Structure 1
Amino acid sequence: MNIEMNEMNLKLVMILQEWDPFELGEEGYDGEIEEVVEAVHALHHPSDLAKKIQAIYEHTFEKWIPLQECTKVSYKLLAVKMNTGEI
């Protein structure tokens, strides 16, 4: 993994930690954040990523996050990805 990829992943993690949809604090989502970062690398469309984010968090916490909230964060994550030139 190159330095740009590491920096991108760190930025993605920071965005997801700040998001904190269930108010558990930064440390409450380590597994989910790892899955979402993998999804960011695999997906390119905000609505696809938003649905994946929603499914990841719902699977673990058995709580539903409105798709609109997931879409907002998916745009932020994909913007980081685009700025690193991975798309």
Structure 2
Amino acid sequence: MNETAQLNLALADVLNGFDPYNAGEGFYDTEIADSIYAVHSIDEINKLAAAIRSIYEHSFDMPMSGGNPTKLAEQLMTIKNNSSCSL
């Protein structure tokens, strides 16, 4: 498995635990894919958190009722920055 695929799986593992609408694990496939793309595109935690919030709120057409996108963005950026993958 290549390094990008390994990174994406690690990011997906963290994102699977993020359940801001209490919909349950496995319900957010589209949002996870969009969030992984955002991680690859954004290098600032606050901008990534805003992008993640936007992704989820757009999908559910309502404000995010739970979860902490800033904490999530910090976790995702840590994984990205500790990856040996060159993006």
TM-score (norm 1): 0.88
Consecutive unaligned residues of structure 2, counting only runs of 5 or more, are: none
Counterpart for residue 34 of structure 1: 33
Deviation at 1:63, TM superposition (A): 2.4
Counterpart for residue 63 of structure 1: 62
Structure 1 moving runs of 4+ over 4 Å: none
One-letter amino acid of the counterpart of residue 84, structure 1: S
Consecutive unaligned residues of structure 1, counting only runs of 5 or more, are: none
- Number of equivalent positions: 85
SS at match of 1:19: coil
Q: How does 1:1-12 map to 2 (within 5 A)?
A: 3-12=2-11
Q: Contact 1:17–1:25 at 8 Å: present in 2 too?
A: no
One-letter amino acid of the counterpart of residue 35, structure 1: D
Percent identical: 34
When structure 1 is superposed on structure 2, of 45-54 and 23-32 the one drifting more is: 23-32
